[in-house]
Homo-oligomer: A and B are copies of this chain.
Amino acid sequence: MKNSPLTKFIQKSIPLNKIDVEEIASSFRLKEFKKGDYFLKENQISNDYFYLYKGLMRTYLYDLNGNQITTDFFTENNIVFEVTSFFNRVHSETNIQTITDCTGYRISYEELNTLFHNKPTFRDFGRAILVKEFIASKKRVYAMINQTAEERYQNLLVSKPEILKNSPLKYIASYLGITDSTLSRIRQNIS
């Protein structure tokens, strides 16, 4: 496990001595997914705290007309879990599904709490992840308020090109808050 991507990820997030990081990282276990597999299905309780090393996932739910709305993507080198369900121990309203094959390291809710208990400074890691995702969500709200769909697309193009490369257009469209047709026209417009 030494020098694994996970230990690097933890060390980048918070200052911790190497011995602790190794011990923490070794509590995580390898997990692999095939393209299209579900990390979480609605009505389940999100129980895995997952470091995504390779691959791409999305989270989606259904609107009142039964259409899938992709509300978020998870890219490499991020933690995947459904906050509401994971921390509040309630049934998830959303699905998390892989878009490509995925590899990473998982730990359960109970194991994470044990870790928080045994390594109090690791709590700061948990908080840092939470804060990071929260900030991302706030930026997304801001973008929805005062950017046009085209600007949002252009920004995504620059900041997360791996999404555009691997995800079907319809997922990206609903993530940007527009229809497939509009996104298709935006693309045409740019090229």
Measured in the bound complex, the distance between the Cα atoms of B61 and A87 in whole Å is 31
Whether A141 touches B140, Cβ cut-off 8 Å, given contacts A127-B130, A134-B83, is yes
Tallying the copies of this chain within the complex gives 2
User: Which B residues touch A154, using CB under 8 A?
Assistant: none
Interface members, chain A 128-164 (any B CB < 8 Å): 128, 130-131, 133-135, 137-138, 140-142, 144-146
Contact assessment for A69 and B130 in the assembled complex, using a CB-CB cutoff below 8 Å: no
User: Which B residues touch A134, using CB under 8 A?
Assistant: 83, 130, 133-134, 137
| Binary contact readout A27-64 vs B (1 if CB under 8 angstroms, 0 otherwise) | 00000000000000000000000000000000001010
Sort chain A's interface into a size bin. 20 to 34
Is A5 positioned at the interface, with any CB of B under 8 Å from its CB? no
Question: Which residues of A are at the interface with B, using a C-beta cutoff of 8 A?
Answer: 61, 63, 69, 71, 83-84, 87-88, 120, 123, 126-128, 130-131, 133-135, 137-138, 140-142, 144-146, 174-175, 177
